[in-house]
Amino acid sequence: MRILFLGDIVGRVGRDSVVAALPGLRTALRVDCAIVNGENASHGFGLAPDMARALFDAGADVITLGNHAWDRKELIPYIAETPRLIRPLNFPPGTPGAGITTVTLADGRRVAVMNVMGRLFMDALDCPFRLSAQELAKYKLGSSVAAIVVDFHAEATSEKWAYAHSFDGQVSLVVGTHTHSPSADHHVLAGGTAFQSDAGMCGDYDSVIGMAKQNSAARFWRKMPGDKLAPADGEATICGVLVETDDATGLASSVWPLRQGGRLSQAMPPS
């Protein structure tokens, strides 16, 4: 199975680039399942229902979120009725939506996708390790589901590595989101789980992690209120990761970074 994961979509240029490119990427890379993180899609903060629908229409099988999940309040009723849109598993009990979903592909294979949020330099949430262990105990990789993908939305690289090693051999892919900077550490861990500590963003890299440079930089120069941050609007780079899994075990056999368009060096997985 080939699974494509695209990192945090930032603003209109990120949305438009993913919507335009995803159908072609699915065909060119023989993608069986496509997952995107959409938590910054709306002006850099949150996701609106119409934006989620556009991403689904373009070929996203699952959309994940993060710490900006509720920045667009109209998403709250939409997520409650849209199981393919998930928020972090370790949000408080009673939070709308779910932290894990299972999608059935056209050929009948099932893929579980889980969204978890880290705690280092982030919100004080429940333990992502303990809750993940409880949830993953409900699935058998290569049997009840053909693949399991975890979007670990976190700031600290150390926490992402620790999480990946903790569940090595239990999931197909652990991929980090949130920092918007693609890491160069993609590989298959000893137990067969593919890992990349951050997928990067889908947005304009002539920016400060997707936001226009001038106002973003000004916040570091002075501790005073400034103009509202807005996404940069230049050409976007689509960043993500492609993993190929073994059909018998659900574990990863290969993993490649993807960077297409914009200012970053290009990287395209083999077809």
Residue 186 falls in the annotated catalytic set: no
Pairing, β 2-6 against β 110-117: unpaired
Element containing residue 32 per DSSP (H, E): none
CB 114 within 8 A of CB 89: yes
Active-site residue (options: 68, 153, 178, 186): 68
Q: Hey, CA dihedral for 52, 116, 150, 181, is it positive or negative?
A: positive
Residue 162 CB-density burial (10 A; 0-12 exposed, 13-18 middle, 19+ buried): middle
Q: Identify any residues that bridge with 4 across adjacent strands, giving them in sequence order.
A: 34, 242
First-last CA distance in the chain: 13
CB 167 within 8 A of CB 174: yes
Question: Structure tokens of 263?
Answer: 């200012």
Q: Give SS3 for 163.
A: helix
Tell which residue, 245, 241, 244, 238, has the closest CA to residue 260: 238
Q: CA–CA separation, 269 vs 182, rounded Å?
A: 15
Active-site positions?
A: 68
